[in-house]
Amino acid sequence: MRLRSLLFLVLAVALLTIGAGEPALAAGLSFTPPVQLPHSDPAQKPFYGGGEPSIAFDPSGDGHVYVTAPQGIPTALGAALGGSDAAQGVAFWGSGDHGASFPNTQITGAGNGGGDSDVEVLGDHTVLVADLEAVAAAICTSKDFGAHFQDCNGGVATNQQGPENDREWLTRGTKPGEVYLTYHDFAAGFPIIEKSTDGGKTFLPCGTIIDPAGPAAQNYTPVGGTLVSKPVIGKDGTIYVEFTTPDQTAPPVGASLNHLYMAVAKGGCSSTTIFKDNVIYEDPGASLASIFQQTAIDGAGNLYVLAAGQTKAGQAGTGAFLFTSTDGGQKWSAPIPVSTPETKANVFPTIAGGPYGGQAVLGWFGTATSGDPNTGTNQWRYYAAETYDGGQTFAYTTVTPDVIHYGDICTQGIFCGLVPGQPGNRNLADFASAAVDPATGCAALAVPGDPYNRPDLPGGKNTGGSSAYVSRQQNPSTCFTARTAGRAASTVAGSKPGEQTGVLGASGHGCIDRAAPVSQFSRRWSKASSRGLTLRGSTTDRGCDARGQGRVRRVSVALARRTGSGCRFARADGRFGPSTSCLPTRYLPASGTASWRFRFAHRLPKGSYVAWVRAVDAAGNVGAPRRYATRLRVR
């Protein structure tokens, strides 16, 4: 008897959770174990360092994907920055099977390059690799899927662009042959953008990112400089460049970058364009450069900026924070905490947008050891999250359950290890990268890591470099498709050990929402007759903490006609299904959320009826069905 009751209870719970008309939970968000790319193991010769890897898919969706990593300028400075034993600038890995393997491994770029790198793919399959030489950036071009880079043969680069630059980015435009080169100059830290219309052969200035009459100009100084993120391009050609400045009085080293801006050039840019600078976020006590902020745009034109650090003075540790805009970068959300509470310090944010509205993949390094990234005993893992509803809810997973980096992570850029008193571990360089496969909508992550280094131990090994790893999203049902667009994360990715589904409470406090909404009927305003039925009621949702208030996503009602010991459930076409168990399994949508109304405008035969109501909140929590207190009778 007990066994039968237990089986019945399990079946009832399953039916109540799934229900007809409601999407069933898929298996959870997960990524493959990160695969170390060829020759990025220090034990291999030659060894190609994997710090700050960049990743890009061929936009055609033909399965080609490429990863690059700078090898360190071959000088004393380059050695201090963790350069490898490669002879010249940039390590290049190419895949033709969506990132399952990378048989194409080589060095390209300039013999005096290796400072920074980036990779981009144009619509005609042209692969572009940028290699920083400080005095300029070498642009290496391949017309055969990365097999050869004709203008960077033998360490001699013939295509030099962007004189006197730092941290260069390449961004594909919307027209054939259109590509943008963005960087900031060494001398003044001023953000610069140039445009090519011939596939990267030549570049010309493309406007002014900092508007002299805008808000960013009030903070910019050559001493403080800027941090410039890789731009994104809208379908109409609009250019979005996120950049950050410190306070005007900030010191040149260790400055808190606390002013975030989005520069917008509507429809594109020319030599006379002045970008419009919109404030994303600013606070005197903020510090949001751990390290590069990253920008994404989804298929509906929604914008995302992911940053790591602190949004206000006095915050414990460093978190990852998401900012979103739905109006072309004019207005921005308050910072949305996305790193989970168990990680005390979070650095190296990365983000990429999906092909449909509301979709973005996020990644970052996190440690539970200390709230200070510069603590020498830190143990770092890599985390990922995905949102399908524009940052309202997130599915989380730990990409590297095992530690992928030991020790501190310096976030002071080229000042790491060069200035007394500044932290020194720059093995991973400055960022990781994310991209979305256009063929499948599944995300891929390019992550630096060096679990073989143990600088946290007395006399522990430290090679001074790191390896490049690639991890791919492995559950197709959680990838970015039309089916998953706009849905709460839990209805897409579900939940399993090691994962959580979070939502930001209306109070502005980030937390994990596990509280289901509660619904009830209003008997005063509910009625039934032979001409139809109207039910009214209300739903409340506590949200994710005592101060929060959740958001109800939808309310559904199940209506059934009693048939002896069974029930016939109402359908949307007004008919009733066959007699079955009275467990509520077929729901119809109600209108409204906090206050809702259900109208069944069809003839009701004489008899006894019963109704249930349940709701789903923005985090995907499903409320328990609430039954109408008495039977509804039609005479």
Q: Which residues lie below 8 Å from residue 23, measured CB to CB, with a gap of 6+?
A: 487, 491
What's the pLDDT tens digit per position in 263-275?
999 999 999 999 9
Q: Report the alpha-carbon distance of residue 95 to residue 147 in Å, rounded.
A: 11
* Alpha-carbon dihedral sign for residues 12, 16, 22, 27: negative
* CA-closest candidate to residue 90, choices 137, 56, 36: 137
**Residue 26: is its pLDDT beyond 60?**
no
28 in a domain, yes or no? no
452 in a domain, yes or no? yes
Where is the domain boundary, 494, 529, 551?
A: 494
Where is the domain boundary, 446, 465, 494?
A: 494
- How far out from the chain centre does Cα 481 lie? 16
* 577 and 440 both lie in a single domain: no
- Token readout for 444 is 């891929």
* 14 and 57 both lie in a single domain: no
* 428 and 553 both lie in a single domain: no
Strand partners, 345: 318, 367
What's the pLDDT tens digit per position in 377-424?
999 999 999 999 999 888 888 999 899 999 999 887 666 666 565 567
Q: Report the alpha-carbon distance of residue 322 to residue 389 in Å, rounded.
A: 13
* 179 and 214 both lie in a single domain: yes
27 in a domain, yes or no? no
Q: Which residues lie below 8 Å from residue 93, measured CB to CB, with a gap of 6+?
A: 37, 38, 66, 67, 68, 102, 104, 105, 468
Report the greatest alpha carbon distance in the chain: 93
Is residue 78 very low, low, confident or very high in pLDDT (cuts 50, 70, 90)? Answer: very low
- Token readout for 582 is 């009275």
Q: Are 381 and 400 within 8 A, CB to CB?
A: yes
DSSP labels for 259-326? EEEEEEETT---TT-BPEEEEEEE-TT-B--SS--EEEE-TT--EEEEEEEBSSTT-SSBEEEEEEES
Q: Report the alpha-carbon distance of residue 264 to residue 269 in Å, rounded.
A: 9
CATH number assigned to the domain comprising residue 466:
2.130.10.10
* CA angle 17–20–21, rounded 5-degree value: 105
501 in a domain, yes or no? no
**Residue 504: is its pLDDT beyond 60?**
no
Q: Report the alpha-carbon distance of residue 620 to residue 230 in Å, rounded.
A: 33
Judged on CB neighbours under 10 Å (0-12, 13-18, 19+), 477 is: middle
**Residue 120: is its pLDDT beyond 60?**
yes
585 in a domain, yes or no? yes
**Residue 255: is its pLDDT beyond 80?**
no
DSSP labels for 574-587? S-B---B-SS--B-
* 8 and 85 both lie in a single domain: no
Kindly state the DSSP code that residue 6 receives in the 8-state scheme: H
Please report, in angstroms and rounded to a whole number, the separation of the first and last CA atoms in the chain. Answer: 39
* 180 and 320 both lie in a single domain: yes
Kindly state the DSSP code that residue 145 receives in the 8-state scheme: T
| Cis omega (within 30 of 0) for bond into 291 | yes
* 344 and 474 both lie in a single domain: yes
Determine the structural domain holding residue 167 and report its residue range: 35-494
Say how many residues make up the chain: 635
* 14 and 157 both lie in a single domain: no
CATH number assigned to the domain comprising residue 616:
2.60.40.10
- For the segment 577-606, the average pLDDT, to the nearest whole number, is 90
Judged on CB neighbours under 10 Å (0-12, 13-18, 19+), 500 is: buried
Q: Report the alpha-carbon distance of residue 407 to residue 539 in Å, rounded.
A: 49
- Token readout for 525 is 């305003």
* 476 and 529 both lie in a single domain: no
523 in a domain, yes or no? yes
- Give me the chain's average pLDDT, please: 86
* 98 and 247 both lie in a single domain: yes
Report the pLDDT value the prediction gives residue 355, as an integer from 0 to 100: 97
What's the pLDDT tens digit per position in 465-475?
899 999 999 99
CA distances from 119 to 169, 188, 210, 412, 592 (A): 8, 25, 25, 24, 48
Q: Which residues lie below 8 Å from residue 2, measured CB to CB, with a gap of 6+?
A: none
* 451 and 535 both lie in a single domain: no
Q: What whole-number percentage of the chain has pLDDT above 70?
A: 86
CA distances from 494 to 13, 30, 242, 441 (A): 16, 11, 33, 18
Q: Report the alpha-carbon distance of residue 44 to residue 48 in Å, rounded.
A: 9
Q: Report the alpha-carbon distance of residue 275 to residue 207 in Å, rounded.
A: 7
Report the pLDDT value the prediction gives residue 581, as an integer from 0 to 100: 86
Report the pLDDT value the prediction gives residue 544, as an integer from 0 to 100: 60
Q: Report the alpha-carbon distance of residue 98 to residue 437 in Å, rounded.
A: 7
Q: Report the alpha-carbon distance of residue 360 to residue 353 in Å, rounded.
A: 4
Report the pLDDT value the prediction gives residue 353, as an integer from 0 to 100: 98
500 in a domain, yes or no? no
pTM for the complete prediction? 0.76
Instruction: Give the chain's domain count.
Output: 2
- For the segment 459-464, the average pLDDT, to the nearest whole number, is 89
Q: Report the alpha-carbon distance of residue 404 to residue 51 in Å, rounded.
A: 13
* 11 and 123 both lie in a single domain: no
- How far out from the chain centre does Cα 535 lie? 41
Q: Report the alpha-carbon distance of residue 320 to residue 360 in Å, rounded.
A: 15
- Token readout for 195 is 């445009």
503 in a domain, yes or no? no
